[in-house]
Amino acid sequence: MKKYDIALFDLDGTLSESGEGILECVRMIFQEMERPMPDEEEIRRFIGPPMYESLKRVGFNHEDAQTGVEIYKRNFIKTGIYKNKVYEGIPQVLQQLKAAGVRLGVASTKYQKFTDRIIRMLELDDYFDVIGGSTSLTGETDSGQVPRHNKIDVMHYVIDSLTETGNERIVMIGDTRYDADGAAKVGTDLIGCLFGYGTEQELREYYTIGTPLFAAEPQDILPLILRNY
């Protein structure tokens, strides 16, 4: 029996181990723009949130942050994207969830074209009904469409694509404060992935509407979603 009808998965630190490629490309921003390199702790905070927001956080103005994002995208598509590795056990988890009738979606703040490409590269695309990523650097768009800029935007997009009902039987699965905050603000349950890049403390702190469930390893996700697994 299913505890949840819909499960949304973050990408970095949840489906894939991606830190090496991301951080390599972040360092290239500071090198190419001749900016002082942040310390390693600060650099690691770039994993998770939109790149534009991370650059603003460390003091970039709007124009420089946009330039930095373009440098990141250029280098990521050349090298960083190929350093993604699917976590051991994730394909089996997704296979069993799908077989049990759980509808699956990806909800990532990584750019949509990168998210699509990584999911295909990792050979996970057959498991997901919807793959959602970010479509905007700053929340603005020239197309007239509603942009997807942060975790909340992306979660709403994926949920709306999967169901017209409420969020009572929907769970967000992720590893950082951004996943926890998104789940709290959208109103879904949360499974925190302790094998990713965040901490149990931040997941508890930012999930303000209840107590998260936790998965120490990918296979721990199954019994949290399937009652009788």
pLDDT tens digit at each of 229 positions of the chain? 679 999 999 999 999 998 899 999 999 999 999 999 999 989 988 987 889 989 999 999 999 999 999 999 999 999 988 989 999 999 999 999 999 999 999 999 988 989 999 999 999 999 999 999 998 655 444 445 567 889 999 999 999 999 877 667 999 999 999 999 999 999 999 999 999 999 999 999 999 999 999 999 999 999 999 975 4
Q: What domain count does the chain have?
A: 2
Q: Are residues 117 and 12 in the same domain?
A: yes
Whether residues 72 and 98 fall in one domain:
no
Residues 145 and 199 in one domain: yes
Catalytic residue, chosen from 5, 10, 64, 125, is 10
Q: What is the pLDDT of residues 148-178, one digit of tens each?
A: 889 999 999 999 999 877 667 999 999 999 9
Please check whether residues 101 and 59 belong to one and the same domain. Answer: no
Q: How far is CA 84 from the centre of its chain?
A: 13
30 shares a domain with 10: no
Give backbone dihedrals phi and psi of 52, rounded to 5 degrees, phi first: -55, -45
116 is a domain residue: yes
Domain of residue 75: give its range.
19-82
125 in active site: no
Tell me, yes or no, whether 101 lies in a domain: yes
Instruction: Answer whether residue 191 is part of any domain.
Output: yes
23 plus 108 within the same structural domain: no
The residue from 82, 99, 127 where one domain ends is 82
CA–CA dist 90, 67 (Å, integer):
35
Residue 41 sits in the same domain as residue 10: no
**Residue 89 sits in the same domain as residue 10:** yes
Is 1 inside a domain boundary? no
Claim to verify: residue 212 and residue 120 sit in the same structural domain:
yes
